[in-house]
Homo-oligomer: A and B are copies of this chain.
Amino acid sequence: MNTVQPRRPSGFSEYLPGEQIEFNRLLTIIRSTYEKYGFSPLDTPDLELTEVLLAKGGGETEQQVYSFTREGSDTSLTMRYDLTVPLARYVAEHQSDLVFPFSRYHIGKVHRAERAQAGRAREFYQCDVDTIGSTSPAVDAQFPAVINEIFEQFGFGEFVVRMNNRQILNGFFEGIGAAAFSEQILRTIDKMEKISHDTLLELLAGIGLEQQQIEKIIAFTSLTGSNDEHISQLRNLEVSSDLYHEGIDRLEKVVSALRDMQVPEHRFAIDLKIARGLDYYTGIVYETVLVDYPQVGSVCSGGRYDNLASYYTSMKLPGVGISIGLTRLFYAMRELGVIKTDQKSPASVLVLPIDEAHQTAGFGVATELRVAGINTLLNTEYGKFGDRMRYADRLGVKHVVVIGDDEAAQQVVTLKTMETGSSEQLSVAGLVARLA
C-alpha cells in the first residue's frame, strides 16, 4: 500500500509519553489547587461564531486567528485564541443561571496562527482562573495565594509574585499632570526591564512628556524596599489624586490578606515597574518570575478589570484573574533540563508472569495491586526474559513483579526494584503492603 508520511502541521507539538506524564502532573497540580480554592471547572467550545468572538475587532488578534467558513455553510467560525473572550461570552450568555461572585477555572487549548518559532506554538494550553462579580480586595489576594501553592508544588525553585496596582500608576500620572498619556506610559513601563535606560528616556520623551514628568516617573518606578517600605514610601509621596490613595489602600489590604493566608513574605513583592501591557486592567496586576530562571520571563500573570463583557452585555462585570501558559512554561523548563521525563508509564509496577501457565496468578496479583490503588501494568508477551526486563526498564517503572515456577511452588512473588537491581520474595499480601 502507498503510505502518506505521518507528520504534523508546523507549530503543532505533541509529547512523547514521558513528557506527557510530566505535563499532566503539572496540569493536575493546577487543577487541584484551583479547586481547593473553590473555583468551578468550565469548558467552552473550541469553535466560536466569528461575529461573536471577534466582536471587539481590530488589532493583531484578528490576523492571527484560525477563521473559516465550511463549504455549503454561511457561518464563519473561529477557533478560540484565548480563554478570556469565551469567558466573557459565557458569563453574558448564562448570566441568569450563574451565581455571583462566579469563581471559575478553565484549562484548555487555544490556537493562534503566529509565525512559528522555537518555543512559540500555534496550539497551546492556557490555565485561567478568575472571579467575576466581586470588587473585594480579599478576592484580589487569593490569586497570589493560589500561585504560591501551585509553584511550590511545581518544584522549579524559588519564585516571586510581583504586584502593582494600576490605580496607583494612573493616580500618579494624574498627579503629575500626565493623565492623558497614561496608556502610552503604561506600555512603556511594561518594557522597562527589557530596554536600555537611554531607550526608555527616548520612548517617554516620544510620548510628549516634559523632562520633569519623565524624571518623576523614573524615580517613582525605581522605588525599592520591602512591601511595608513600598507602602510607606508611596504614602509619603505628595500626590494629589484620590485614585492614587485608593490604590495604596487596596494594595495594603492585599498585602495584609496574603500574610493572613500564610503566604511567605519573600513570595510576593510590590514592584512599581509591573504595568502589564493589556489596556483592560484597572486594578491590581501580577507577574510571577522564577528566581533561578529569570530569562523565562513571567510564568503567571493577570490582574483586575472593571468590565469583563462589555461587548456582550450592559451588565457591569468586574473581575480579577490570572493565567498560566503551561505549554510555554513546560517548553522552557524542558529546555533548561529542569523537567525529567524518565517515567514513561503511569504504572509504578509491571507484573510479569513468566509464561502462560502463570498467567492466572499474574492476573490475581495485578488485580490485588489495582484494588489497593496501585497503577499496575500487566505484561503477557512471553518472549525472552531479558527483553521483558528491558521493556520494564525503558518504560521507567519502579518495580517488576515476577511470577514463575519457584514463586508458584513457594506461594510468593519476586519483587525486583529497578533502581537498585535488588530482588526479594514476598507473599501477595506482603507485596501489596510494601507498595501501597
Seen from chain A, the residues whose Cβ lies within 8 Å of a Cβ on chain B are 1, 3-9, 12-17, 20-21, 23-24, 35-49, 51-52, 55, 66-68, 70, 73, 75, 77, 79, 88-90, 92-94, 97-99, 101, 103-104, 109, 111, 113, 123, 134, 136, 138-139, 142, 256-257, 260-262, 309-314, 344-347, 350, 359-360, 363-364, 366-367, 370, 373-381, 391, 394-395
Contacts and interface: CB of A to CB of B under 8 A. Distances in A.
Given A17-B42, A20-B41, A20-B43, 14 more contacts: A1-B314, A3-B313, A12-B47, A20-B40, A36-B373, A38-B345, A40-B344, A46-B111, A66-B70, A68-B68, A99-B391, A103-B377, A138-B359, A260-B364
Given A48-B9, A99-B394, A359-B138, A376 B40 contact: no
A346 B40 contact: yes
Given A36-B375, A375-B35, A44 B346 contact: no
A221 B23 CA distance: 47
A303 to B, nearest CB: 18
A105 to B, nearest CB: 9
B35 A314 contact: no
B97 A9 contact: no
Given A46-B111, A134-B381, A21 B1 contact: no
Copies of the chain in the assembly = 2
A3 B344 contact: no
A51 B13 CA distance: 18
B376 A36 contact: yes
Given A45-B123, A99-B395, A391-B99, A347 B7 contact: no
Contacts of A312: 3-6
Contact of A7 (B17, B36, B47, B93): B93
Contact of A43 (B15, B52, B73, B79): B15
Contact of A346 (B8, B38, B136, B380): B38
A374 to B, nearest CB: 8
A9 B77 contact: yes
Contacts of A41: 17, 20-21, 24, 346
A82 to B, nearest CB: 15
Given A9-B75, A45-B14, A359-B138, A367 B40 contact: no
A257 B359 contact: yes
Contacts of A345: 38, 40, 103
A49 B7 contact: yes
Nearest to A53: B4
Contacts of A262: 367
